[in-house]
Amino acid sequence: MSKIIILDFGSQYTQVIARRVRECGVYSEILHHKTPLSKIDLRETRGIILSGGPASVYAKKAPLPDARIFSLGVPVLGICYGLQLMAHLLGGKVEKGDSREYGEGILNLKGSSKLFTGLPKSLKIWNSHGDRLTALPPGFKTVAVSDNSPFAAVEDAKRRFYGLQFHPEVAHTPKGLRIVSNFVLGICGCKKEWTMASFISRTCDAIRGQVGDGRVILGLSGGVDSSVAAALLKKAIGDQLVCIFVNNGLIRKNENEAVQSLFGRHMNINLKCVDASKEFLKLLKGVTDPEKKRKVIGTEFIRVFERARKSVGKARFLAQGTLYPDVIESVAIGGNPAALIKSHHNVGGLPKDMDFELVEPLRQLFKDEVRKVGEELGLPKEIVWRQPFPGPGLAVRCLGEITAEKLRILRDADFVVLDEMKQSGWYYRVWQSFAVLLPCKSVGVMGDERSYDFTIAVRVVESQDGMTADWVKLPYDLLGRISNRIINEVRGVNRVVFDITSKPPGTIEWE
């Protein structure tokens, strides 16, 4: 299969470049920039992309590639730092910019270039760089300029070297995918051979290569990521996979049965279900502080999982449904204040000292790609297109102290919300929809009697990635049905309100 090598110089967007190449139907491999040529399998390499990166080419320890990549005769595309590097190594000049160019810009094409085939003369682009190219290497010419850069896109068409000062891979360069596809399909001549089916078969081979005849344990939550990981591992290694599902008592109505029926019976996966709901509830008694709740649940989860793991026998490998955004988020935590707003999300996060080798078959994929893998593996729509559900579960939606009775009320109300969302077709159109149980009672009248019961808040939001969100303007009749059904079907509730807060300032979950 023809492929593109992406040399990584530390850009936060390197995986996004790989993703764009996949969107073109082409296989790519990301390699560390220091990888010597002798270690690169060049047989089917049709082109090389040099990623961006935070360094300066004239810094003492500037990351450099094996310079022989320029003598291979394959096309090279340098993006941002990659362009500066290419210019620097091939005899051009790079200087420190007066100010960092960051944000949107307009690119104007000068003349024609294969890189811009099919694109208009003027394009919206996204910049993020400090240094700039000030003189071209011999053989190069400018093909596009931007407000701040007379060398925004350059090429040496004869040697098939191309450079872009901006980032074609990010969503803020709306036509960037066409630029990437012009490079990989048009200039490099790659064939469209990469499909989900080929990803699955390659990944299965890689899993088999990694684990041999060893046993693999996977914590299955029933969410999209761990479910797709389970299905993929089952396909790769069959009964060597053992899944552990922990019922922490904070899961949704019918969830336990649904997981057992799909994974245990239908897919015939070796599944161990642990009912730890009583222990969790006991530990949460009297806990009202949201952060403390999360910590108690996280710590206990690890304890229960460890016990379950020991009881299923020895295993050398631990599989996780880690996706690429989880990888960046955990790397970014130090510098990213947003990550500190709520203590870290992944309740599945396991202690570092565990004696396991990790198997993470989805590590390079983005959520929508994982969904496609799930579909290709035949998982049902209800799993593949599930809305996100937080690790600490209903605990962060049951405000104040958690009791079995409050959980019963919340679970029943949540069931109504989801049922109505699904029946009306809205479920798959929004990011999340759920019920929250407020910790106070209010007065109402039911029949001829005064009632004094709990309030349910309904939260329905739309979002791209959960980082920002807006409340969804659901039709009044749907809201009316949700409210009527909750009051009629859920004992203990006499009032329903609708949350009309965006994020920020509100978070999606209430705790």
Residues with catalytic roles: 80, 167, 169
Check residue 25 and report its DSSP letter: T
- Nearest in space to 49 (alpha carbons), one of 84, 14, 96, 22: 14
Structure tokens that stand for 433 in this block? 């929809």
State in angstroms the smallest separation of the CB of 122 from ligand XMP. Answer: 37
State in angstroms the smallest separation of the CB of 318 from ligand XMP. Answer: 18
User: 108 or 346, CB closer to ligand XMP?
Assistant: 346
Q: 3-class SS at 156?
A: strand
Structure tokens that stand for 68 in this block? 């022989």
User: 194 or 389, CB closer to ligand XMP?
Assistant: 389
Alpha-carbon span 492 to 405, nearest angstrom = 9
State in angstroms the smallest separation of the CB of 349 from ligand XMP. Answer: 9
CA distances from 347 to 181, 368, 379 (A): 39, 22, 24
Site stretch for ligand XMP (CB under 6 A), options 149-157, 163-171, 268-276, 390-398: 390-398
Q: 3-class SS at 98?
A: strand
How many whole angstroms from its chain centre is CA 320? 14
State in angstroms the smallest separation of the CB of 121 from ligand XMP. Answer: 41
- Max Cα-Cα span within the chain: 90
Among 345, 411, 459, 495, binds ligand XMP (CB under 6 A): 345
Question: Could you say which residues in the range 400-459 bind ligand XMP, by CB under 6 A?
Answer: 432
Q: What's the chain's length in residues?
A: 511
How many whole angstroms from its chain centre is CA 347? 16
Site stretch for ligand XMP (CB under 6 A), options 78-86, 156-164, 389-397, 436-444: 389-397
Site stretch for ligand XMP (CB under 6 A), options 11-19, 26-34, 92-100, 503-511: 503-511
393 binds ligand XMP (CB under 6 A): no
Taking a C-beta distance cutoff of 8 angstroms, is the pair 130, 85 a contact?
A: no
347 binds ligand XMP (CB under 6 A): yes
State in angstroms the smallest separation of the CB of 502 from ligand XMP. Answer: 11
Question: Could you say which residues in the range 85-104 bind ligand XMP, by CB under 6 A?
Answer: none
222 binds ligand XMP (CB under 6 A): no
Alpha-carbon span 436 to 413, nearest angstrom = 8
Among 76, 391, 397, 454, binds ligand XMP (CB under 6 A): 391
Neighbours of 188 (CB within 10 A): 23
List b or e across 273-297, with b for residues whose CB sees 16 or more CB atoms inside 10 angstroms: bbebbeebbebbeebeebeebbebb
342 binds ligand XMP (CB under 6 A): yes
Site stretch for ligand XMP (CB under 6 A), options 207-215, 274-282, 312-320, 386-394: 386-394
State in angstroms the smallest separation of the CB of 360 from ligand XMP. Answer: 16
Q: Who's near 17: CB < 8 A, 6+ residues apart?
A: 6, 11, 28, 49, 51, 79, 169, 180
Annotate each residue in 460-479 with x if it binds ligand XMP (CB under 6 A) or - if it does not, as one string: ------x-------------
Q: 3-class SS at 91?
A: coil
Assign residue 157 a region (left: φ > 0; alpha: ψ between -120 and 50; beta: otherwise): alpha
State in angstroms the smallest separation of the CB of 504 from ligand XMP. Answer: 9
Among 130, 388, 400, 444, binds ligand XMP (CB under 6 A): 388
Site stretch for ligand XMP (CB under 6 A), options 109-117, 388-396, 442-450, 489-497: 388-396
Q: Who's near 326: CB < 8 A, 6+ residues apart?
A: 346
Q: Which residues bind ligand XMP (CB under 6 A)?
A: 342, 345-347, 388, 390-392, 432, 466, 503, 507-509
